[in-house]
Amino acid sequence: MATELYLKHTEAESVPRSALTVNPAKTCQPIGAMYAALGVHNCLPHSHGSQGCCSYHRSALTRHYKEPVMAATSSFTEGASVFGGQANLLQAFNTIFSLYDPQIIAVHTTCLSETIGDDIPQIIGKAVAEGKIPAGRFVLHASTPSYVGSHVTGFANMTKAFIDYFAEKTGKSTDKVAVFPGWVEPSDMAEIKRMLEAMGVPYTLLPDTSGVLDTPMSGTYEMYPEGGTKLDDIRRLGDAKGAIGLGSYCSGPAAKLLDTKCRVPTEILDLPIGLAATDRFIDTLRRVAGVAVSDQIIKERGRLLDMMADMHQYTYGKTVALAGDPDQLCSLAEFLKDLDMKVKYVVTGTPGKAYEARLTELIGEAEEGDWRGAPGDLFALHQKMKQAPVDLLIANTYGKYIARDEDVPFVRFGFPILDRVGHADFPYVGYRGALRIMEKILNALMDRQDRDAPNERFELVM
Q: What is the pLDDT of residues 172-221, one digit of tens each?
A: 989 999 999 999 999 999 999 999 999 999 999 999 999 999 999 988 88
Q: What is the pLDDT of residues 51-95, one digit of tens each?
A: 999 999 999 999 999 999 999 999 998 888 788 899 999 999 999
pLDDT above 90 coverage of the chain, percent? 87
Q: Would the pLDDT of 455 be above 80?
A: yes
Q: Would the pLDDT of 8 be above 90?
A: no
The mean pLDDT value for 248-266 works out to 97
Name the strands in the sheet holding 319-323, side by side, starting at the edge strand that comes first in the sequence. 371-373, 342-347, 319-323, 392-395, 410-412
Helices and strands in the chain: count of H runs, count of E runs:
18, 13
Could you give phi then psi for residue 71, rounded to 5 degrees? -160, 155
pTM, two decimals, is 0.94
Look up residue 317 and give its amino acid.
G
**Alpha-carbon span 200 to 34, nearest angstrom:** 31
**Alpha-carbon span 22 to 245, nearest angstrom:** 32
> Hey, is 394 helix, strand or coil?
strand
Q: Identify the structural domains of the chain with CATH numbers, from first to last.
A: 29-166 (3.40.50.1980), 177-214+223-295 (3.40.50.1980), 297-455 (3.40.50.1980)
Q: What is the pLDDT of residues 373-420, one digit of tens each?
A: 988 999 999 999 999 999 999 999 999 999 999 999 999 999 999 999
Q: Would the pLDDT of 9 be above 80?
A: no
For residue 440, CA distances in Å to 315, 424, 446 come to: 12, 15, 10
**Alpha-carbon span 339 to 221, nearest angstrom:** 44
Q: Would the pLDDT of 35 be above 80?
A: yes
Q: What is the DSSP letter of 294?
A: P
**Alpha-carbon span 134 to 151, nearest angstrom:** 31
**Alpha-carbon span 64 to 66, nearest angstrom:** 6
Q: Would the pLDDT of 7 be above 70?
A: no
The confidence score (pLDDT) of residue 6 equals 52
Cβ-contact 447, 455 below 8 angstroms? no
pLDDT above 70 coverage of the chain, percent? 98
**Alpha-carbon span 315 to 274, nearest angstrom:** 15
The confidence score (pLDDT) of residue 351 equals 84
Q: What is the pLDDT of residues 303-361, one digit of tens each?
A: 999 999 999 999 999 999 999 999 999 999 999 999 999 999 999 999 888 999 999 99
Label residue 1 by pLDDT band (50, 70, 90). Answer: very low
Look up residue 433 and give its amino acid.
G
The confidence score (pLDDT) of residue 352 equals 84
> Hey, is 342 helix, strand or coil?
strand
Q: Would the pLDDT of 47 be above 60?
A: yes
Q: Would the pLDDT of 5 be above 70?
A: no
The confidence score (pLDDT) of residue 392 equals 98
The mean pLDDT value for 276-302 works out to 97
Quick one: which H or E segment has residue 153? helix 151-166
> Hey, is 372 helix, strand or coil?
strand
Spatial neighbors of 12 by CB under 8 A, at least 6 apart, are 383, 386, 387
- Cα 248 to chain centroid distance, Å, stands at 12
Residue 212: other Cβ atoms inside 10 A: 26
> Hey, is 272 helix, strand or coil?
coil
